[in-house]
Copies of this chain bind each other. A is one copy, B any other.
């Protein structure tokens, strides 16, 4: 398996390079007879696309999804949904200077060594553009989960050292009220200020996305290897630039004692605290699922860097192009999409446990 497929029963296979003809995918295992709001899917895609605000890259990609199959008279038929997103802004000329040079902390070097050939234009297959296909599948998963009452709240929790650190379930309106997608306006302003500052330096900065999922029924996730958070963890690490993932108490659990970390039960089987992040023994316990995803600062700088080329010669790499100074605002819909794919997949898998 060459790794372009994700999911067990609800499965997405993607294809496409940043500057090829199109990217797209096949979604198999979609339950039948579900009404889909195609416009809402496009809205999710628009949230990911470049050029939405002053703080993200001004690259123009219309990112319009075209559905080719699996939907009949507005409803899913149970057959695979094939879709494409044509690439329209293919200024390959922008990338001629990357034909030979390996950009630091990019996948240029590793792709070249692995495959012996590489579509160097804009990152090719390793470009984050591929995630647009995930957003399409995630948007479909979210509509199905929504009909089951399962809801998501995903937002920017941290940029640099500015952190929100609030465990409320923020609504979409609050999240979308700032271009940085941090639902607290004061914190959002400080984050934007930092991003502007970093960008002025031709530099970039890291950040964290937080995701909370409510009304997940008890019982999703398989014990042992396919624990719910193991698959969510894989999903998150499969997103470009992710360096860390933590559930519930996460890394802070390291310094805690069991007597303070244990989530004691209420009589209704909810728990008084949620250090478990909604998952115990790899299985959802009905409490909100909570996790945080750490993104490194974008590797493309508007600064000249010294690097090597495919012959091992030192070359100067000029910083140019249109790039994000901070990736997390655009990462929000990607994190949510991958989370939705995982939750729906386990929802379907769980139906097979008891007859």
Contact = CB atoms under 8 A, between A and B. Distances in A.
B20 A11 contact: no
A78 B245 contact: no
Contact of A26 (B4, B20, B118): B4
Contact of A247 (B106, B110, B243): B243
Nearest to A247: B243
A54 interface: no
Interface residues of A, number: 156
Contacts of A236: 233
A138 interface: no
Contacts of A2: 9, 11, 28-30, 78, 80, 222, 226, 352-353
B263 A105 contact: yes
A263 B301 CA distance: 13
B265 A102 contact: yes
A29 B218 contact: no
Interface string A160-179: 11000000000000000000
> How many copies of this kind of chain does the complex include?
4
B297 A253 contact: yes
Contacts of A350: 114
Nearest to A66: B21
Given A1-B9, A77-B125, 17 more contacts: A2-B30, A2-B80, A15-B26, A15-B82, A77-B115, A77-B119, A79-B119, A109-B285, A110-B221, A110-B280, A115-B353, A231-B234, A234-B237, A240-B281, A251-B251, A259-B301, A267-B312
30 contacts: A1-B11, A4-B26, A4-B80, A5-B13, A13-B26, A15-B70, A16-B82, A29-B352, A31-B352, A33-B115, A34-B355, A69-B125, A77-B115, A102-B265, A105-B261, A105-B262, A105-B263, A107-B280, A109-B285, A110-B221, A126-B223, A126-B281, A205-B256, A206-B261, A233-B236, A244-B250, A244-B251, A253-B297, A264-B305, A267-B308
